[in-house]
């Protein structure tokens, strides 16, 4: 069994107008240290899968195991990075945002500070720790979110389209940074995106989802290319085309 296991996981939401099957029979096993990108069209159930692994939502069928133990709710062993940056605390400095989880765990101030400074440096923001979120650019805020998640030393990083709201150039810079941080920390990452190129640039494996209702895993494409990825290389183009063909069917209705 893998480090993370989703076994026949399903989610049916009950709404006022009836029920909606967001995810159906989703099965995947992740190895420790891998960078798994979950790719799919809008509304296919990506966030629902991540929320269930994060423990924010309970599956309505199947089960989720982390290191052999069932996930029953949120926990410090999973660090979450969201697309929007409104999850940062406006009233705290960047450094205090990074150290927030450490404060909850009761670590002494000096230790919190040292750890927060270390992760501030890791995300390339040394010297910017005294700023508040409102004084930071979108890219900087996403760096702070990543640092905050890592500061708690989670076993897995769950990232839901973290660069989706950034301009193309900032996005490319942050992708490269994340790739470096992943190599440095050897964290297991589940990264959600709807951007094929982003998935091919970052992942050790790309999981392509089928569109909903009943969104599920349609195929898993291994990306056996060295890092940093050369996006104009023949190898990259080959993987891109393979993934593109799988997604294309979901956009244009083929089966
Ligand atoms: N809390 C909810 N209640 C009802 N339906 C939901 C809820 N959350 C998501 N859905 C529905 O489930 C489907 C999958 O949503 P989501 O996981 O957010 O997709 P994605 O992240 O791939 O865009 C969508 O059709 C969405 O409307
Ligand atoms: Mg989503």
Domain ranges of the chain: 1-77+158-167+190-254
What number is the average pLDDT over the span 225-247?
97
Q: Which ligand 1 atom minimizes the distance to the CA of 40?
A: 22
Q: Tell me the pLDDT band of 85, cut-offs 50, 70 and 90.
A: low
Distance 22 CA to ligand 1 centre (A): 6
CA distances from 147 to 59, 151, 213, 216, 220 (A): 29, 6, 35, 31, 29
Using most ligand atoms within 8 A of CB, pick from 17, 20, 26 the residue to mutate for ligand 1: 20
Q: How far apart are CA 33 and CA 175, in angstroms?
A: 17
| pLDDT beyond 80 at 113 | yes
Q: Residues 83, 163, 251, 60: what is their CA dihedral angle, to the nearest 10 degrees?
A: -30
The band of 196, judged by pLDDT with boundaries at 50, 70 and 90, is very high
109 CA distance to ligand 2 middle (Å) = 36
Mean pLDDT of the chain: 95
Q: How does DSSP classify residue 229? A: P
Q: How far is CA 121 from CA 66, 92, 102, 204, in A?
A: 29, 18, 17, 26
Look at the domain 1-77+158-167+190-254 and name its fold.
Rossmann fold (3.40.50)
| Ligand 1 atom nearest to 11, measured from its CA | 12
CA of 194 to the centre of ligand 2 (A): 9
């Amino acid at each position: 069994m893998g480090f993370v296991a989703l076994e026949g996981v399903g989610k049916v939401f009950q709404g006022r107008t009836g029920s909606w099957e967001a995810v159906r029979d989703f099965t995947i096993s992740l190895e420790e240290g891998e960078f798994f990108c979950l790719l799919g069209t809008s509304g296919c159930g990506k966030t629902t899968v991540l929320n269930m692994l994060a423990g924010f939502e309970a599956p309505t069928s199947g089960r989720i195991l982390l290191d052999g133990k069932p996930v029953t709710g949120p926990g410090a062993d999973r660090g979450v990075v969201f697309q929007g940056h409104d999850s940062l605390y406006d009233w705290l400095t960047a450094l205090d945002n990074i150290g927030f989880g450490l404060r909850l765990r009761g670590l002494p101030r000096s230790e919190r500070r040292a750890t927060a400074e270390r992760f501030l440096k890791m995300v390339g923001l040394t010297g910017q720790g005294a700023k508040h979120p409102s004084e930071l650019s979108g890219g900087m805020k996403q760096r702070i979110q990543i640092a905050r998640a890592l500061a708690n030393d989670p076993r897995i990083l769950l990232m839901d389209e973290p660069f989706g709201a950034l301009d193309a150039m900032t996005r490319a810079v942050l992708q490269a940074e994340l790739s470096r941080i992943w190599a440095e920390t050897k964290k297991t990452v589940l990264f959600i995106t709807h951007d094929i190129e982003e998935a091919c640039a970052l992942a050790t494996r790309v999981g392509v989802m089928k569109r909903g209702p009943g969104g599920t895993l349609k195929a898993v494409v291994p990306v056996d290319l060295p890092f940093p990825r050369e996006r104009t290389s023949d190898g990259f183009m080959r993987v891109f085309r393979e993934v593109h063909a799988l997604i294309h069917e979901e956009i244009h209705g083929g089966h």
